[in-house]
């Protein structure tokens, strides 16, 4: 007989968005299409400050050109799901000339029930 009766797995996300400033590194940067710094320059900056820690993801969005995202976050959640959440929230705040930095905390909660003997 299986010890698992109920199993649920959920992710809770909280994100803080602020305008880009120095020092620039946090969990992610959202780069507007007309921002003064482009995705390639952001990638080089991230590599210089935190080698191998970030990925630049180009996106198809009217205001956003790319998102610089900490690689560890991509290991926790699906890339497309993360981008949809990030872009959905940023869309309300960003204009094409902005670069937003954001703190993104992911909390995974797992609940299991087992049969007692």
pLDDT in the model for residue 95 = 94
Q: Residue 22: its pLDDT value, please?
A: 54
Q: Which pLDDT does position 2 carry in this prediction?
A: 55
How would you class 30 by CB atoms within 10 Å of its CB: exposed for 0-12, middle for 13-18, buried for 19 or more? buried
Per-residue confidence (pLDDT) for residue 36, from 0 to 100: 94
- Written as six digits, the tokens of 44 are 């080089």
**pLDDT in the model for residue 70:** 93
pLDDT of residue 49: 86
Q: Could you count the other beta carbons within 10 Å of the beta carbon of residue 57?
A: 16
pLDDT in tens for each of the 117 residues of the chain? 556 678 888 989 888 887 666 556 678 999 999 999 999 999 999 999 889 999 999 999 999 999 999 999 999 999 999 999 999 999 989 999 999 999 898 888 889 898 988
Q: What is the torsional sign of CA 67, 68, 72, 75?
A: positive
DSSP SS3 for 109: strand
Are 28 and 94 a contacting pair, CB within 8 Å? no
Would you say 37 and 28 are in contact if contact means Cβ atoms under 8 Å apart? no
* pLDDT at 28 (0 to 100): 92
């Amino acid at each position: 007989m299986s010890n698992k009766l109920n199993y649920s797995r959920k992710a809770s996300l909280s994100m803080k968005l602020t305008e880009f400033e120095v020092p620039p590194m946090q969990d992610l940067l959202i780069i507007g299409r007309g921002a003064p710094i482009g995705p390639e320059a952001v990638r080089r900056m991230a590599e210089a400050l935190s080698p191998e820690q970030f990925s630049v993801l180009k996106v198809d969005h009217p205001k956003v050109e790319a998102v610089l995202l900490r690689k560890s976050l991509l290991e926790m959640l699906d890339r497309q799901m993360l981008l949809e959440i990030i872009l959905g929230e940023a869309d309300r705040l960003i204009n094409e000339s902005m670069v937003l930095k954001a703190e993104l905390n992911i909390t995974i909660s797992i609940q299991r029930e087992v049969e007692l003997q």
